[in-house]
Amino acid sequence: MSTAIKETNFQFTGQTGFYRGKVRDVYSFKDKIAMVATDRISAFDVVLPHPIPYKGQILNQIAAAALKATEDIVPNWVIATPHPNVTIGKKCDPFKVEMVIRGYLTGHAWREYKAGKREICGVNLPDGLKENDKLASPIITPTTKADEGHDEDITKGKILEQNIVSFDDYAVLEKYTYELFDRGTELAREKGLILVDTKYEFGSYDGEILLIDEIHTPDSSRYFYAEGYDQRQLDGEPQKQLSKEFVRQWLIQNGFQGKDGQQIPTMTEEVISGISERYIELYENITGKPFVRSDETDGVERIQKSIEDNIDN
């Protein structure tokens, strides 16, 4: 029987800090962090009230595999993944931007384009594009990295002007972002998928730029099924997606987009179970492997022990 993990509240010897993000609980130590991927789910930068069984395990395991598959491009923060929901890594000083890269016009970018905008984060787009069209080449549309509340679109020019990231460092982040997206696209193609858009986060550790957080997961990325993509575009049909977009669409259909005064719709057991099954489907399609449920009634205790056993104080 699965017990969804909504939050953890540990106190470790040598712990120097704690941060609760939208999805992750992060425990800081002298030069390491322990990141717990909980089963919380967020959309429109709002944490929804009910956790989704297995979601944390799915994200953590996809991210671990994706980081391993890209470590020849850019070094990353991971030291160990001692539990399905836990990653131990180097404690980096994060850059305050998320490097969002898009190969197709969909999601937030499409909503902006549909509203009449032809410039997104300083990138000009031509008239005449349809939802889910492939762009002439991938574009980077960065956002600010908010500690609380909503991330905001920002241009490269403003990032440099406000010295959020230095000119030299931003050039490296851009280079890594394009190379990671190329690799992610290649890996997705092998699974019969299209990597539509994604985001990467970076940090500095001992003067070296490292890839941090998660990559190529359904929370940070959007995938289409490759088979039938062209025909669906010709016919004006929606694309078959592998992403968290189905959660956002369910919320939109029920009158919620994270705006002031809007109430989060009730998530029934049926809705929660359905979202969990969709995440399992995402895992199996993205990795090409069957998902093994971590059915632990003492899951939180095992998480705690896995961190204690892997942090040297």
Asked if the structure places residue 164 within a domain, the reply is yes
Asked if the structure places residue 265 within a domain, the reply is yes
pLDDT of residue 276: 92
255: left (phi over 0), alpha (psi -120 to 50) or beta: left
Please say which residue of 193, 224, 243 terminates a domain. 243
pLDDT of residue 1: 43
Please say which residue of 195, 218, 243 terminates a domain. 243
Is a pLDDT exceeding 80 seen at residue 3? no
Q: For 174-194, what is the mean pLDDT?
A: 97
pLDDT of residue 147: 59
Is a pLDDT exceeding 60 seen at residue 313? no
Give DSSP secondary structure letters for 197-223. EEEEEEEEETTEEEEES--SSTTTEEE
> pLDDT exceeding 70 applies to what percent of the chain?
97
pLDDT of residue 145: 79
Q: Note whether 127 and 116 are within 8 A (CB).
A: no
Asked if the structure places residue 2 within a domain, the reply is no
pLDDT tens digits for range 273-304 = 989 998 998 899 999 999 998 876 678 999 99
| Domain count along the chain | 2
Q: Are residues 102 and 202 in the same domain?
A: yes
Q: Are residues 187 and 47 in the same domain?
A: no
Burial label for 12, CB within 10 Å (0-12, 13-18, 19+), is middle
pLDDT of residue 2: 60
pLDDT of residue 254: 93
Q: For 152-177, what is the mean pLDDT?
A: 97
Is a pLDDT exceeding 80 seen at residue 151? no
For residue 134, give Cα distances in angstroms to 113, 137, 285, 292, 310: 14, 8, 21, 34, 44
pLDDT tens digits for range 32-88 = 999 999 999 998 888 999 999 999 999 999 999 999 999 999 999 999 999 999 999
pLDDT tens digits for range 95-117 = 999 999 999 999 899 999 999 99
Q: Are residues 86 and 102 in the same domain?
A: no
pLDDT tens digits for range 215-240 = 999 889 999 999 999 999 999 999 98
Provide the greatest CA pair distance for the chain: 60
pTM: 0.89
* Residue in the block written with tokens 């990795």: 287
Asked if the structure places residue 11 within a domain, the reply is no
Please say which residue of 224, 243, 262 terminates a domain. 243
pLDDT of residue 79: 97
Q: Are residues 138 and 229 in the same domain?
A: yes
Query: What's the token pair of residue 301?
Result: 């205790």
Which 8-state DSSP code applies to residue 92? Answer: -
* Domain containing residue 150: 94-243
Give DSSP secondary structure letters for 38-91. -S--EETTEE-SS--TTHHHHHHHHHHHHHHTTTTTS-BSEEEEEETTEEEEE-
Asked if the structure places residue 313 within a domain, the reply is no
Q: Which backbone phi and psi does 125 adopt, to 5 degrees?
A: -120, 145
CATH of the domain at 37: 3.30.200.20
* Of the candidate ranges 22-26, 143-147, 154-158, the one whose mean pLDDT is the lowest: 143-147
Angle, CA 285 vertex, CA 150 and CA 265 arms, to 5°: 40
Is a pLDDT exceeding 90 seen at residue 149? no
Is a pLDDT exceeding 50 seen at residue 14? yes
d(CA 52, CA 44): 17
Q: Which backbone phi and psi does 172 adopt, to 5 degrees?
A: -70, -45
Which 8-state DSSP code applies to residue 234? Answer: H
CATH of the domain at 134: 3.30.470.20
